[in-house]
Structure 1
């Protein structure tokens, strides 16, 4: 049977109520109270209560969807301990959103974990991770025993380990996706589409016109977003563009990027399109509030 980790939203999963997810409360979220109720939101109308940073229920829904895509597990609390080399040339992929040893998000994670617990099992790998990140290498050089140390940290120091992962998740990914969704006047669905893209393609470092002439396989979130705005006449839903058309154009860019990545690496069968087809279906259903149930 084909391993679907990091691949697909496989099978029919229904998030029919919040009850299956109510036990998924992580260390840095345990003190959250009086979370504002999510309200219906029209494209272009920014209401802070409808964004992940303040709306816990919405965050759980989005994290469940992304967790299903990244690890085929909508109960995303199980994904903190995950680690595997999936053969995508990024080294080990691990944790809640797939931090990778060949990129700088794993460096950020271990560095922050060291601040929380200076005696953690991963501390000794920080130097090797910095070097591998600098090279963009898939190598395991200097990472002997890293996978075991990851599992040990998850088992024996879970609260601190979860806090460290959540910190990098928020600062490297969620904050940027939320701000971009606000800037572009997107709904809750648009926020999910952006967050899923930033997790999969990486945040990027914005350079005006950076996507032009660049292999789509290497497009980051910034480049996908800019190309979509350019195709929309330099505008976004905040400026009156139809959000359905805008999000479909954004997903067209993601299809192109992933297809090119697969063409460039014939051994790469990890990036199928199920997660994008799911998002297209939500757009077709006009479920801009991500109302439950979410069937995919």
Structure 2
């Protein structure tokens, strides 16, 4: 199947999205208070070597609550030691991960920015990787439980159909689909021109050096140039020239997964970035609005990958307003009698309208119909096998084009097959 419809991976922080959060790996050490991953936008991330020896990380709190005792963790290059604590901070280091915790309270309000400084013994300049910010308040009643392992497999199999026309996650995929975002890559469509592909490569570089078989390490200078342009302009970057002058990006990305020696590390990094940027924020949104079923969470997870953080929050605002919750009261489920079924129905219709209104996205409109069919059938726990034998026109009329996804049968454990016969229907 042509990948042209993959241009539907759009908006801010989509699978080809903007960097609104960074970092993937678990933070070492323990805290006396329960911490939760925070929502934030990273605006500055620099380390200047000799003669400054000074690192700067600036972030904006984009969550729904003020941070009160933030913890900041990040990776430094191998052999580098973090060696200075600003007043009010203390740090530990495990391997290449430096973790800074507060020795006293620090309030960072909603939409407020904070600049954190650190120092190391490195004479060379670098960019900290896997930046993660957590705080006790970030979990204040907003983070609901995620999906079970099998439910997550089912949810990701569905999204993979929309991304690669197969329920099997395609870690080796790489292609320039000419959507203005450079190369689209891997299991979640990480793009070189929007700040998420670089996170995969950074993670991979921390696990495996060029001398140890990392074919993508050599692209970091080119990726950094593209990413700096993206960060400074706020615009997606179409150029791949900085990568093409170094080597065969498409071939090297594919080989990184197809090579059995490097596969585990490369797969791990794609999984970490996808969870950090898309799965965890989607589960947090579900918890905030009172969505408890696997189907609703799977629908939000797919929308997060498709539309990104800003996009999905706009969809949620429109959904709430359409149901009489213009004040965006959370949780929405139970407010003024709003049921989860009614909320999900309106959310899917809102997302359908968003896709259908865009000349590029409309080719992917059928992906919404699969969740609507599951809703109508009451498969809330994703515990019954199903097929994606449904199109938007089957649910909402013939004005919608046919996306052309291959029909697959998905089992409750995530295994799948291709049925020989099927009948399109939304019921």
Could you tell me which of 171, 174, 177 is aligned with 1:80?
Answer: 171
Deviation, structure 1 residue 68:
1.0
Name stretches of at least 5 consecutive residues in structure 2 with no aligned partner.
Answer: 8-24, 26-142, 389-427
Are 1:228 and 2:319 matched, yes or no?
Answer: yes
Q: Is the 8 A contact 1:113 1:164 kept in 2?
A: yes
CA RMSD of aligned residues (A): 2.4
TM-aligned CA deviation for residue 75 of structure 1: 2.0
- Whether contact under 8 Å (1:181, 1:191) holds in the other structure is yes
> Displacement, 1:139?
1.7
Judged with a 3 Å threshold, the aligned counterparts in structure 2 of structure 1 residues 61 and 6 are, in CA distance, closer, same or farther, namely farther
- The structure 2 residue matched to 1:175, chosen from 263, 280, 301, is 280
Q: Displacement, 1:227?
A: 2.5
Aligned to 1:97: 188
SS of 2:180's partner is coil
The answer for the alignment partner of 2:226 in structure 1 is 132
Per the alignment, residue 199 of structure 1 pairs with 305
**Which has a greater percent of helix?**
1
Larger Rg belongs to: 2
Kept in 1, the 8 Å contact 2:356–2:362? The answer is: no
Q: Which residue of 2 aligns with 1:249?
A: 346
The partner residue of 1:153 within 256, 271, 277 is 256
Query: Deviations along 1:188-219, whole A, 9 cap, x unmatched?
Result: 10001100001111223xxxxxxxxxxxxxxx
* Distance 1:291-1:203 versus aligned 2 partners, 3 A rule: same
Moved more, 245-254 or 181-190: 245-254
Contact 1:7 1:72 in 2 (8 A): no
Q: Deviations along 1:235-291, whole A, 9 cap, x unmatched?
A: 4225452122211222222223223331xxxxx478321111111111111221112
CA distance in 1, matches of 2:3, 2:168: 16
Which string of whole-angstrom CA distances, capped at 9 and with x for unpartnered residues, describes residues 6-53 of structure 1?
559xxxxxxxxxxxxxxxxxxx9xxxxxxxxxxxxxxxxx973xx23x
- Residue equivalent to 1:259: 356
How far, CA to CA, are the matches of 1:47 and 1:127 in structure 2? 39
Going from structure 1 to structure 2, the CA distance change for 1:5 and 1:63 (only over 3 Å counts) comes to farther
Distance in 1, Cα, partners of 2:239 & 2:149: 38
> For residue 143 of structure 1, what is the aligned residue in structure 2?
243
Q: String of CA shifts for 1:83-130, please: whole Å, max 9, x gaps.
A: 112232222111111111121111211111111113221122223324
Taking a change above 3 Å as real, the CA distance of residues 143 and 47 of structure 1, as seen in their structure-2 partners, is: closer
- Is 2:172 aligned against 1:66? no
Report which structure shows greater RCO (CA 8 Å, sep ≥6): 1
Cα distance in structure 1, aligned partners of 2:361 and 2:158: 21
- Contact 1:5–1:70, Cα closer than 8 Å, also in 2: no
The number of residue pairs the alignment matches comes to 233
C-alpha deviation, 1:62, in angstroms? 0.8
Shift of 1:4: 5.6
Higher strand share: 2
**TM superposition shift of 1:165:** 0.2
**Matches of 1:237 and 1:269, distance apart in 2:** 29
